[in-house]
Amino acid sequence: MQVPNVQSFSKAFGLSLPAIGALHAEGRVRGDFETVELLEVSGKLGKSQFTFDATVDAGGERLHVGLTAALQQLDFTPFVDDGAATVQPTQTSDLRDIDLGTTIDMLGNLDADLAITAARILGTPIDLDAVEIKAAITNGNVELHSLAANVLGGDIAVSGSFDSQSECPDLKLIARGSEFDLTTLNAALTINERLGGLVESVNRR
């Protein structure tokens, strides 16, 4: 599959994307009336490079999505640059239009198993790489089995859960980090004072 200009192509579906470049992908597709599998898919989207296997199974009570993906490089630069260029100081984000209740209700319509790794991240304001995510959605409940990354020169690990089916949705997170180098923040700051020092350990529940 090749799409020379994803930004222009997306407009045919009523979407507005930044200039993310061309898409080139190849792999195998297998399926029947209930299940579709994308197997050994690899390719590039702009500067991002990826491989993945995915399944969509509509044969159960709820739609089930499975995704195992490895991104050699994930480039957020077009999204960051596009937002900075198009949003004026007097404008507010479209996030205000998101109905949080509807978004939470959608979690009850599908189950999912996700395993995603990203070796290198581009376009973020802080140093970030070696990201690993394992998560599952079951009957509206989200289990973040693990989220690990190298950030600010150190390591962070997060796990938790989100219960959307309770009367009051319940979010629980546990985060642990170590060896953060504060000098890596200076490139993203506009203040004159420079940061320095090392954060040896952080634990939050």
Maximum Cα–Cα distance across the chain: 61
> How far does the chain reach from its first CA to its final CA, in angstroms?
45
Name the more confident of 204 and 91.
204
Q: Which residues contact 189 (CB under 8 A, 6 or more apart)?
A: 195
**In this predicted structure, what is the pLDDT of residue 142?**
93
The ranges assigned to domains in the chain are 29-175
Low-confidence winner among 48-57, 61-70, 190-199 (lowest mean pLDDT): 190-199
pTM for the full model? Answer: 0.75
**Mind listing the pLDDT tens digit for each residue in 71-92?**
999 999 988 875 544 444 444 4
